[in-house]
Amino acid sequence: MPRKRKQINIALIGQGFMGRTHSNAWTQVTRFFDPPIRPVLHTACGRSEKALRAFAKRWGWANVSTDWKQLVASDEIDLVDILTPNHVHAPMAEAALKAGKHVLCEKPLAGTLDDARRMVQAARRANGRTFVCFNYRRCPAVALAHQLVRKGKLGEIRHVRAWYLQDWADESVPLMWRFDKKHAGSGAHGDLNAHIVDMTRFVTGEEITEISGAIAETFIKQRKRMTGAAGGGIAAGATSAKKTGKVTVDDTVLFLARFSGGAVASFEAARQATGHKNSNGWEINGTKGALRFDFERMNELEYYDATVPPATQGWSTILATESDHPYVGAWWPPGHIVGYEHGFTHQAYDVLRALAGRKPTVPQPDFADAYQTQRILAAALKAAKDKKPVKVSTVK
């Protein structure tokens, strides 16, 4: 049974890209917010002790470990933060939940629907709380969109179009775990569509019920094998050998969808969309108004109010930095914008609130919620493979 107390000891597993964002968040959260529980950076865990020691020194972790099994069972740990490739989310989360810990897990919940289901079942049996890192929910502009939809500003939602476009995956990038089905489950799909499926479910408050017109494509089918470890960014520091190996995941997945309230939708995830670094966005059109967001301009939420007289209708740009916008009052004066890392700090704050029995600023996905997103991802891959529409209710 997790202890109820004023501070919690955290074990982080995986000191790569997400290892840095989460370490920063656990450190920053008490500087800018007053969470009811303080996080203690107890142990950082990974595979290379030498790299871990340098990581722990930089980010303030008190201990290091290369044995995650022993670590998640330790009496000293209260929350396990899982930041490893997707294939080990399930065994790590199951072991941590069995040992009575709270678990925060990176997205996608897992590489496969089977793993994701096991994780939900483990969460049901456990006393610990579960959280999944869909960090874009915690951009102030996205959280504001969620609140505006709840206030009825869009009316009935008719159209959702969502895109997550990056361009880092050219031929020079070696065969890292992200291109290997065994480790990742899928490519751009689980990596990027997972975020926009979650965000559009979160903003609309509706569920996706059917997928059709899905296309999955892999443009680069062989990549040079990787030597050593990448670390700190998506492909930062990755070096390659002469030998090549097979890419077993998609580079892009597109699909159409229906939402429970009647809206129709399109989704596109791509890693070779030249010109787009991290264009993670959506536009939602309703009968009373519309909203638009793109992470490359993450402080802005665009709003069209169709209820004002036609003479003054037009898109307006809300700079989501006012003190009454979600989260941002804790940071800087209005107009002094926030960045990528802030979403992770907001998540840390809401996790700590939830553990103290308080409401998060905006709803937070647990394993059961993230499993819904995983079902939609699985349905889209099935629709692409069978070249037929798939009802999400048939994918369990």
Ligand X SMILES: NC(=O)c1ccc[n+]([C@@H]2O[C@H](COP(=O)([O-])OP(=O)(O)OC[C@H]3O[C@@H](n4cnc5c(N)ncnc54)[C@H](O)[C@@H]3O)[C@@H](O)[C@H]2O)c1
Applying CB under 6 A, which residues contact ligand X? 13-19, 45-47, 68, 83-86, 88, 106-107, 133, 135, 191, 230-231
Phi, psi values for residue 14, rounded to 5°: 110, 110
8-state DSSP, 3: P
Distance of closest approach, residue 232 Cβ to ligand X, in angstroms: 7
Q: Give min distance, CB of 133 to ligand X, in A.
A: 5
Helix axis angle, 113-125 to 367-386, nearest 10°: 160
- 68 vs 282, which CB is nearer to ligand X? 68
Residue whose CB is less far from ligand X, 186 or 285: 186
What is the smallest separation between the CB atom of 46 and ligand X, expressed in angstroms?
4
Q: CA 30, CA 40: separation in Å to the nearest integer?
A: 10
* Contact yes or no for 257/162 (Cβ under 8 A): no
Task: Work out how close the CB of 313 gets to ligand X at its nearest, in angstroms, rounded to a whole number.
Answer: 35
Q: Which residue is nearest to ligand X (CB)?
A: 16
CB of 193 to ligand X, least distance (A): 12
Task: Give the residue with the Cβ less far from ligand X, 115 or 210.
Answer: 115
Question: Of the two residues 139 and 154, which places its CB atom closer to ligand X in the complex?
Answer: 139
Cβ(107)–Cβ(133) below 8 Å? yes
| Strand 289-294, strand 300-305: pairing | antiparallel
Task: Please say which residue, 193 or 285, places its beta carbon nearer to ligand X.
Answer: 193
Element (H, E) at 50: helix 49-59
Helix axis angle for 340-355 and 17-32, nearest 10°, is 70
**How many whole angstroms separate alpha carbon 244 and alpha carbon 224?**
4
Query: What's the rounded Cα separation, in Å, for the pair 196 and 244?
Result: 32
The minimum distance between CB 112 and ligand X, in angstroms, equals: 13
Quick one: 259 or 344, whose CB is closer to ligand X? 344
Can you tell me the distance from the alpha carbon of 390 to that of 209, in angstroms, rounded to the nearest whole number? Answer: 9
Nearest to 101 by CA among 63, 129, 125: 129
Q: Is there a contact between 304 and 317 (Cβ–Cβ < 8 Å)?
A: no
Cβ–Cβ under 8 Å, residues 114 and 43: no
User: Which residues are bridge partners to 293 per DSSP?
Assistant: 282
In whole angstroms, the minimum distance from the beta carbon of 5 to ligand X comes to 27
Shortest gap between Cβ of 158 and ligand X (angstroms)? 29
**Nearer to ligand X (CB atom), residue 132 or residue 352:** 132
Residue among 85 and 289 whose Cβ is closer to ligand X:
85
